[in-house]
Amino acid sequence: MKVYMDNNATTAMKKEVLEEMLPYYTEIYGNASSKFYEVGRQADEAVMEIRERVAKQLGAKTNEIYFTASGCEADNWAIKGIAFANKSKGNHIITSAIEHHAILGACEFLEKNGFSVTYLPVDEYGRVNPEDVENAITDKTILVSVMTANNEIGTIQPIREIAKICKAHKVVFHTDAVQAIGHMPINVEDLGVDMLSLSAHKFHGPKGVGVLYIRNGVRIENLIHGGGQERGKRAATENTAGMAGLAKALELANTDLDKKIEKMRTMRDRLITGISKNIPYCRLNGPTDDTRLCNNVNFSFRYVEGESILMLLDMKGIAASSGSACASGSLDPSHVLLAIGLPHEIAHGSVRFSVSDDTTEEEVDYVIETLPKIIERLRLMSPLYEEVLNKEEEEA
Ligand SMILES: *Cc1c(COP(=O)(O)O)cnc(C)c1O
């Protein structure tokens, strides 16, 4: 059996999305900026229509939608673009300690270039306290960026409250909503945000295409210089197929969203209950209430390494992800797990399972059946666990 439970890393593209994209590779292949002939105009018209569809899905205006080549690019643009455009006003940025590396990396870059960054702490469930945001704002603050939902432990942040505080202090507010799309309703007016990032491949769209929503009136500097695409704010020949795929994936994600959320929640909770019941010395990381992303499960298992668990899961056909930095290739424990207060040795034994609306009960049950044996097998090789067993015996 093959079970894919790493949907917070990426998702399978839906067939309808691929179908929507194909004509832009073969028939409407024109450069959307070449308006002197038909196939170019067709591409340009398609891009206008696609932008409108995306705006509608987000509750934004059409001219507030900017396409990028990824979620990482949208995040980098938001952080660096606001910093560069507003450095005469101030040099202070506020973010949280548990942001995606795209945000943290951009902030660290700015720190080396004369900006100062406050990394707000989070509570044991990964929640940012809006009061902390308010207290951190100074007359030099030009930007606050707090993610809508965390990719590792699924914490949904109080975005509306933070947005209100930023508005009252006239500070631009950006949110990385990459994990939120398809997992909760997202409307920029309802959230009250000034900027929002998303990435198609996290909601069954193609890889390599994202959006930065920028509210009209927000001053932002360009990151990619060149031609006049994206209303002069981001050069590059329009990725028409990618844009079409993103729009279709977004529409599909928002269709019957409530029903899908309910289904994912059921799978998530079945997994959480099954793991908690069948494996001793484990800990659920992240919220236990409705501020948890509907598709995210993250457990720490004591006396074992996350990477060893992943290897044995893979041998059983199960794809999941560990708490240590996936892309960086480092073995440092996740900054998110450390920020919620886990000691290094516990953070190291963490695994994330993330379901999608395609995940079935059989798949969940297969994981619940397979995982305890894997953990037990690994623990029997751990000297620490042996001590624990001996102690238990003495006490019995
Ligand atoms: C995946 C992810 C990103 C990066 O998106 P890419 O399109 O893969 O660059 C940014 N933020 C969060 C929260 C993510 O989960």
Please report, for the chain, the start and end positions of each structural domain, with discontinuous segments joined by +. 3-9+257-395, 15-254
Distance 179 CA to ligand 1 centre (A): 8
CB 75 near ligand 1, within 6 Å? yes
Report residue 328's pLDDT band, with 50, 70 and 90 as the boundaries: very low
CATH number among 3.10.129.10, 3.40.640.10, 2.40.170.20, 3.40.630.10, domain 15-254:
3.40.640.10
- Helix segments in the chain, DSSP class H: 15-21, 23-26, 38-58, 71-85, 101-111, 130-136, 159-168, 188-191, 240-254, 257-278, 306-315, 335-339, 344-347, 361-379, 383-395
What is the pLDDT, as a whole number, of residue 332? 81
Between these two residues, 395 and 226, which has the higher pLDDT value? 226
Contact criterion met (CB below 8 Å) for 205 and 211? no
Contact criterion met (CB below 8 Å) for 192 and 64? no
Q: What percent of the chain has pLDDT over 70?
A: 98
Q: What residues pair up with 351 in beta bridges, in sequence order?
A: 299, 322
Distance 365 CA to ligand 1 centre (A): 29
Whether the predicted pLDDT of 323 surpasses 70: no
Whether the predicted pLDDT of 258 surpasses 70: yes
Distance 287 CA to ligand 1 centre (A): 21
What is the pLDDT, as a whole number, of residue 327? 47
Count Cα neighbours of 379 within 13 Å in the Cβ-side half-sphere: 19
Please name the fold of domain 3-9+257-395: Aspartate Aminotransferase, domain 1 (3.90.1150)
Mean pLDDT, to the nearest integer, of 262-268?
Answer: 98
CB 200 near ligand 1, within 6 Å? no
d(CA 386, CA 391): 9
* pTM recorded for the entire structure: 0.97
Distance of CA 362 to the CA centre of its chain: 26
Whether the predicted pLDDT of 259 surpasses 70: yes
Which of 61, 51, 7, 56 has the alpha carbon at shortest distance from 182? 7
Whether the predicted pLDDT of 169 surpasses 80: yes
CB 102 near ligand 1, within 6 Å? yes
**For this structure, is 72 an active site residue?**
no
User: Which atom of ligand 1 is nearest to 99's Cα?
Assistant: 13
